[in-house]
Structure 1
Amino acid sequence: MKIYTKTGDKGETSLVYGQRVLKSDIRVEAYGTCDEANSQIGLALSYIGATHFEGKEEWESIFHKVQTWLFHVGAELATPKGKKVGWTIEEAHINEMEKQIDAWEQQLEPLRNFILPGGHSAGACLHVARTIVRRAERLTTMVEETNPLVLSFLNRLSDFLFVAARFINYHMGENESVLHQD
């Protein structure tokens, strides 16, 4: 199979089941933004690469699941109104992220101030991924007939990524930069 089809050369693309839409269609914007977030998460994980910290294997495992679920969100968003896709986001996915957030937060100092995005390269990338997920969430509110758990998933994913950034910065010995009111 060739990677290029030339079918998108005139500004259109296909949704799941083959319906042609403009590349500016809100569905394309929403699932494309999920893909962007997923790529940013992948970049963050690449910065972890050869590093070692307690719980790294679990970290990589949970992120593999989250990236897979985010791919599934994209598939749901790429499915036309009135159609069903084989992969769906479920409450269990959201619950698993919440449990992980709670577990990571037990290892971190409680937040007392706003923090500025940054720190270790992986942490900074996770902060960027978080903001991309927020954009995906905003776009998804405009997509008709979407699984309501998609919005819940994206909302929780941004929280997950925020805490993950704090967690990795902590494990990499990076101090959080606190917002000062000047």
Structure 2
Amino acid sequence: MVNLTRIYTRTGDAGTTALGDNGRTHKTDLRLAAYADTDETNSTIGVAISCGNLPIEVQETLTRIQNDLFDVGADLCMPLKESYEWEPLRVKAEWIAELEADCDRYNEGLEPLRSFILPGGTPGSAHLHVARTVCRRAERAAWAAIEAYGEEPASGERAETKGQGGVNPLTAKYLNRLSDLLFILGRVANDSAGGDVLWTPGGGRE
């Protein structure tokens, strides 16, 4: 279990931070950017739940996802290696399939889209669209980390060096599916309040 007895540690005052394997890395590390953006996604979802007046079923789905996002962050901060002293949290393909099932289930009850939509309408929808855009940024950051560190576990002498190792590509795929679901849930949040706010090409000037 996590035991947080003191929040500040001063260990990051030199511009470095710890990864999941206790290796130190710069705070500009692409892996850190990926799980920081994932954390921001989680926070924006929390805002949507707390002040968005969302249907109970949607709130329950989002709360499950908030727990998942902590696991995504834990995965991103733990470099891939061939073996560990303890089994780390890793995103699983089943989680992505679960998001796809959620997309299908919630989308089934919505009217087909014949235009792009504007973020807005109800507060819940607006907050979910903010969460969607932050999630897209988290996904881009995850892919950047994957490009930088690869998708393969560290082996040999490299595996003995903390902070070395690849990045699980399922983290980025999870974030991709999640952004799709957040778009759909943004529509669900507007469904009982008159529907989507549609984009007018040309800014509505004509």
- Normalised to the residue count of structure 1, the TM-score between the two structures is 0.90
Distance 2:144 2:102 in 1: 29
Matches within 5 A, 1:1-182: 1-48=5-52, 51=53, 53=55, 56=56, 58-82=57-81, 86-143=88-145, 144=149, 145-171=166-192, 173-182=193-202
Distance 2:127 2:20 in 1: 30
Change (3 A) 1:7 1:52: closer
Secondary structure class of the residue paired with 1:16: coil
Distance 1:37 1:157 in 2: 10
Letter in 2 for 1:156: R
Identity across the alignment (%): 41
Query: Is the Cα–Cα contact under 8 Å of residues 19 and 80 in structure 1 kept in the other structure?
Result: no
Distance 1:175 1:38 in 2: 25
Secondary structure class of the residue paired with 1:21: strand
Distance 1:86 1:122 in 2: 34
More displaced 10-residue stretch of structure 1: 111-120 or 82-91: 82-91
What root-mean-square deviation, in Å, do the aligned CA atoms of Structure 1 and Structure 2 show?
Answer: 1.7
Distance 2:69 2:54 in 1: 26
Unaligned runs of 5+ in 2: 150-165
Secondary structure class of the residue paired with 2:66: helix
Query: Is the Cα–Cα contact under 8 Å of residues 134 and 154 in structure 1 kept in the other structure?
Result: yes
Residue 170 of structure 1 and its aligned partner are, at CA, apart by 1.2
Distance 1:129 1:60 in 2: 14
Residue 163 of structure 1 and its aligned partner are, at CA, apart by 0.2
Residue 86 of structure 1 and its aligned partner are, at CA, apart by 2.3
The number of residue pairs the alignment matches comes to 176
Distance 2:99 2:36 in 1: 22
Distance 1:181 1:62 in 2: 34
Residue 11 of structure 1 and its aligned partner are, at CA, apart by 1.3
Residue 59 of structure 1 and its aligned partner are, at CA, apart by 2.1
Distance 2:123 2:63 in 1: 19
Residue 52 of structure 1 and its aligned partner are, at CA, apart by 7.3
Residue 61 of structure 1 and its aligned partner are, at CA, apart by 2.1
- Normalised to the residue count of structure 2, the TM-score between the two structures is 0.80
Structure of greater Rg: 2
CA deviations 1:36-62 (Å, max 9, x no partner) are 0000000000014xx474xx1x32222
